[in-house]
Structure 1
Amino acid sequence: MWVGVDLGTQSVRALAVTATGEVAGSGSRRLTSLRDGPRHEQDPEEWWRAVGEACRAALRDIPGEAVRAVAVDGTSGTVLLTDPDGRPLTPALMYDDARAADQVRRADAAGGEVWRRLGYQRMQPAWALPKLLWLLNDQPGSAEKARLAHQVDFVNRRLAGHAVATDLSNALKTGADLIAETWPEAVFEELGVPAGLLPPLERSGSVLGTVCAEAADATGLPAGIPLVAGCTDGCAAQLGTGRLTVGSWNSVLGTTLVLKGVTTELIQDPLGVVYSHKAPDGGWLPGGASSTGAGIISRDFPDRDLDELTRAARGHEPARTLTYPLVSAGERFPFVAPEARGFVLDEDADEGDRFASVLQGIGYVERLCFDYLDMLGAPIGGDLTLTGGSTKSTYWCRLRADILGRPVLLPEQAEPALGAAVLAAAASTGRGVAETAASMVRVRETIDPRPTHTARFDDGYLRLVAELERRGWLSPAVAAHARERTPR
């Protein structure tokens, strides 16, 4: 039995998982946030209390000797400052906290050469390094005594009872050089960040220590079991799909759309919309996040019967209406356009057609993402898994398979805590992460595209491509590549 702990935004979730992927125990505890404009904070001590409660619930009916290791994943870019003993000096600045936007230019001026070599070109306002600089400015005189902690580092320190390394996955947005697997010392020196403030670096899947007696009392985890370095929640969700061979991709469709894949080579993206995490085996996990997604449904069809709307949408393949389904202003993937806004063309159609155009529009953006990845030279021909809340709709999954023209796999249990458990199992058994994931993750269903249906959506897809190009958001080169990849 292996335990995976997911530190989410709204809750902490713990799973106890067997070697064949059976979830033998689970537990979850809510978290609270403080939001105020660009600020989004949480209390790190609440994380630890929730971890203890979630783990105890997950292990309630499991004998202690069955549990072999534990790993923790967390939200990407969430950081705080602690004292040398691991006590919080600041609240945690969460993954989407954007108060450090004015520090981005400073970070890029010092580290731009490194960021370009790593393929993502530039820092973003909500990334961890700008937030670290903001925290140091906000806490004058703290630099020499403070320690940086990512969300997982804070919890791992409590589990181990001593300071631990951070994983390369969480360290990406803090500016770690993932190629050399070190902190770029000259960059941090120029930024005035003391070397002693930064934790050591280890790959995800490395053993960081063992669970201490005090943590065992708090969580119900057996004292002495290995504590394994985790990763970001996005990477953990990818591990939880079980498909980690080169060219495989996971498409997470919830409020927004996120794609993550597996490559042997680092992807260089001149736009900086695709960035790559370091995989546990030394390969790469590239990905990108769009601002389109299912959030538009709750926004534009509030309190509606979605089953009824879906039945109506079946009669509109393709829809007459064309929708570019931006959930919020600005696009991030497969192109960068802060000025982009969602739009609807031919919106005088009936409600069934309008709803169908939203589902199809998200599928078109997903298809454009894959065309862009292909243009960058990323391998995209492996397995494609679908995860996220949208997979509850069998119709929508089939529609996406039709629009993409490729089979899609639906895992039985796809969530970050399962991916963390995969890391724990791989480290304690000595097997590779990909092999371990393949044996621990079960596929619920495979949906094949209907060839006659795929061709139905080509015109709608190319119409969206043309409209995005006409508005100046999509480059002519990407639009041309999308047309070349569309059979006529």
Structure 2
Amino acid sequence: MSVWIGIDLGTQSVRAMAVSGDGQVVGTAGRPLTSHRDGPRHEQDPEQWWRELAAATREALRDVPPEQVAGVAVAATSGTILLTGPDGRALTPALMYDDRRADAGRANEAGARVWERLGYRRMQPNWALPKLLWLLQDAPAGARLAHQNDFVNRRLVGHEVATDLSNALKTGVDLIEERWPSEVLDSLDVPAEMLPEVVRPGTRLGVVCAAAAEETGIPAGTPVIAGTTDGCAAQLGAGATRVGSWNSVLGTTLVLKGVTKELIHDPLGVVYSHRAPDGSWLPGGASSTGAGVLSRDLPGRDLDALSAQAAARPGPPASVTYPLVSRGERFPFDAPGAEGFTLGNPADDVERYTAILLGAAFVERLCFDYLDLLGAPVDGEIILTGGATRSAYWTRLRADVLGRPVTLRENAEPALGMAVLAGGDPGRMIRTRAVVDPSGADFTEPYLRFVTELEGRGWLDPAAARHARERTAR
């Protein structure tokens, strides 16, 4: 029996999972990570990544015979970088995915044509290339760029490694030509010799060296496979890998990721695409709405009890809340000044609860309407993951609002996605827990009222609002 190791190197923890060919989790472990935050600053110690990764893999493999281990892949947070020396040791702290001390002006001026061609139009200050330019101001000679998983992959194999296209996206890699855009980076005075080679996710980088084997418990000689960002890893773990299929992750916020044959160009720049291991495209976007509003607006309440009470009440919710976790929206529209609101007058906590759930479902539907406007195929399987799937009431509500069956997986963790990428068979390793059909409830009128409100506030583009109405009328 072969076993593949998937590692999810996140913000708050690192998680290792050993998965057999039939999808059985035969070992798992996690270790916490510490962040250092101060205003726009968010740093971590790269050495802690390695220490805790090694501890997690040792525990996850405690009961796995060494001869069964067939491969390992690592996912990491998108846009997290540091500088290393030629020996792979950290020269700087890691600037995390949401560190905003850099300015994106120079990167956007120099790379405007390339970013336009790649579909995302512009970089944000927390993207990796602006942060790299910021680090270069004090960089010692010989410094090299490393993304979060590059740092640990180098330790695993014991020599320099290539980076993957997924993690290199926010550093400006040309995903169409699958190379660094030298003309842009030269104009920004980024030394070519500091950049790693670029490969597709799923490419073999080397094998676990003896020193790493001793620390991690991963057998020496185990193939090390180029991974992806955490979002793409979750998509792989959910099994959203066919053209037209989508993974909708609803937790604190809402994230959608799908599969297309062609690169999607978004005039608003709220949708951008990764490159899949097979060369197809993985478009997606992240909303600022989600379940995070529940803990803010209904602190200390028993959400399971609220779901049970909501399910016992007749008819659909009478009110709807735009559940913005923080000021400003990112997807399906770009509105830095957007704020949450409620249409209707919830009479009690149950109605306040259902208004939030309905609003999140409406945003999810609007995201699909916008993706359809851009020409993305949205007719495939919709797989729901994230904390919201623990509520059967919310899952049914989302199916009703979408008017589509939705699929729930037994396990859709990023670590599982990396185990699949390391060489496992997704057809056997990814298991379906349930398919939830819509009940037939009609949400057309409140959905269109919600769309009109967003448009009237000047946040939702009129063309997107019009398309949502047209698509609803089909």
- Counterpart in 1 of 2:48? 46
Q: What is the alpha-carbon distance in structure 2 between the residues aligned to residue 242 and residue 367 of structure 1? A: 21
The 1-side partners of 2:237 and 2:56 are apart by 19
* Counterpart position of 2:397: 399
Within a 5 Å distance, the mapping from 1:195-214 to structure 2 comes to 195-214=192-211
Q: 2:434 aligns with which of 418, 423, 445?
A: 445
Q: Distance in 2 between matches of 1:279 and 1:316?
A: 44
Distance 1:464 1:130 in 2: 37
In structure 2, do the counterparts of structure 1 residues 313 and 149 end up closer, same or farther at CA, with 3 Å as the change threshold? Answer: same
Structure 2: which amino acid aligns with 1:156? Answer: N
* 1:192 shift after superposition: 0.7
Q: Deviations over 1:102-121 (max 9, x none)?
A: 2x111000001000000000
Which residue pairs with 1:480 in the alignment? 466
Report deviation, 1:284. Answer: 0.5
Report if the CA contact (8 A) 1:324-1:362 is conserved: yes
Structure-2 separation of matches of 1:410 and 1:290: 21
**1:323-338 matched pairs, under 5 angstroms:** 323-338=321-336
Q: AA paired with 2:427?
A: A
**Is 1:316–1:352's contact at 8 Å kept on the other side of the alignment?**
no
Report which stretch shifted further, 66-75 or 312-321. Answer: 312-321
Specify which of 358, 365, 368 is matched with residue 360 of structure 1. Answer: 358
- Indicate the SS of the match to 1:332: coil
Matched with 2:115 is: 115
Residue 177 (structure 1) aligns with? 174
* Match in the other structure for 2:284: 287
Which 4+ residue blocks in structure 1 deviate beyond 3 angstroms?
A: none
Shift of residue 438, structure 1, vs aligned partner: 2.3
Say whether the 8 Å CA contact 2:346–2:355 is kept in structure 1: no
Q: How far is the alpha carbon of 1:322 from its aligned partner?
A: 2.3
CA distance in 1, matches of 2:422, 2:304: 39
Quote the Cα distance in structure 2 between the aligned partners of 1:176 and 1:366: 29
Mapped partners of 2:326, 2:6: distance in 1: 32
Amino acid across the alignment from 1:68: A
| Alpha carbons of structure 1 residues 317 and 150: separation in structure 2 relative to 1, 3 Å | farther
TM-align CA RMSD: 1.1
For residue 349 of structure 1, report the CA deviation from its aligned partner.
2.6
CA distance in 1, matches of 2:260, 2:188: 32
CA distance in 2: counterparts of 1:159 and 1:316, whole angstroms: 57
Q: How many equivalent pairs are there?
A: 471
Give the TM-score normalised by the residue count of structure 1. 0.95
Equivalents in 1 of 2:328, 2:470: separation in Å?
26
The answer to whether residue 135 in structure 2 is matched with residue 135 in structure 1 is yes
1:348 to partner: Cα distance: 5.1
Residue 168 (str. 1) matches residue 165 (str. 2): yes
Q: Structure 2 CA distance, aligned partners of 1:381 and 1:236?
A: 22
Of the candidates 315, 319, 322, which is equivalent to residue 321 of structure 1?
319
Residues 9 and 76, structure 2, Cα contact 8 Å, conserved in 1? yes
Q: 1:348 to 1:13 in 2, by over 3 A?
A: closer
Q: Aligned to 1:425, what secondary structure does the other structure show? A: coil
Correspondence for 2:254? 257
Please give the alpha-carbon distance, in whole angstroms, between the structure 2 residues aligned to 1:387 and 1:136: 39
Which of residues 458, 463, 466 is equivalent to 2:452? 466
Give, as a single letter, the amino acid of the residue that structure 1 aligns with 2:465. Answer: A
Helix, strand or coil for the counterpart of 1:308?
helix
Q: Residue 433 of structure 1 corresponds to which residue in structure 2?
A: none
Question: 1:150-165, aligned counterparts within 5 Å?
Answer: 150-165=147-162
Residue aligned with 1:17, SS: strand
Q: Which stretches in structure 1 are left out of the alignment for 5+ residues?
A: 427-435
Contact 2:298 2:349 in 1 (8 A): no
Alignment of 1:413-432 (within 5 A): 413-425=411-423
Distance in 1 between residues matched to 2:126 and 2:405, nearest whole Å = 35
Among 1, 18, 27, which residue is 2:20 paired with?
Answer: 18
Contact 1:276 1:286 in 2 (8 A): yes
Q: Secondary structure at the match of 1:344?
A: strand
**Distance in 2 (alpha carbons) for counterparts of 1:317 and 1:117:** 47
- Report the 3-state secondary structure (helix = DSSP H, G, I; strand = E; otherwise coil) of the residue aligned with 2:248: strand
Equivalent residue in structure 2 for 1:411, among 400, 409, 412: 409
| Structure 2: distance between partners of 1:311 and 1:82 | 53
* AA of the residue aligned to 2:233: A
Separation in 2 of the partners of 1:388 and 1:166? 28
Counterpart of 2:51 in 1: which secondary structure?
helix
Partner Cα distance (2:428, 2:282) in 1: 20
Q: Is the 8 A contact 1:250 1:384 kept in 2?
A: yes
Deviation of 1:2 after TM superposition, in Å, equals 0.5
In structure 2, what residue type is equivalent to 1:483?
R
1:341 lines up with 2:327 in the alignment? no
Whether the 8 Å contact between 1:243 and 1:438 is mirrored in structure 2 is: no
Question: How far apart, CA to CA, are the structure 1 residues paired with 2:346 and 2:379?
Answer: 38
Residue in 2 that maps onto 1:432 = none
Asked if the contact 1:118/1:179 (under 8 Å) is kept, the reply is yes
Deviation digits for residues 34-59 of structure 1 (CA, Å, limit 9, x no counterpart): 11111111100000001100001110
8 A Cα contact 1:316 1:356, kept in partner? no
Aligned amino acid, residue 437 of structure 2: D
Aligned 1:223-238 pairs, distance under 5 A: 223-238=220-235
Distance (whole Å) between structure 1 residues aligned to residue 427 and residue 396 of structure 2: 24
| Alpha-carbon shift at residue 27 of structure 1 (Å) | 1.0
Give the TM-score, by structure 2 length.
0.98
Match in the other structure for 1:148: 145
- CA distance in 1 between counterparts of 2:14 and 2:349 reads 38
Q: CA deviation at 1:371?
A: 0.2
Which residue identity does 1:472 align to in structure 2?
A: G
Question: Partner of 2:263 in structure 1?
Answer: 266
- In the alignment, residue 450 of structure 1 is paired with which amino acid? S
Q: Deviations over 1:140-173 (max 9, x none)?
A: x52x411000000000000000010000000000
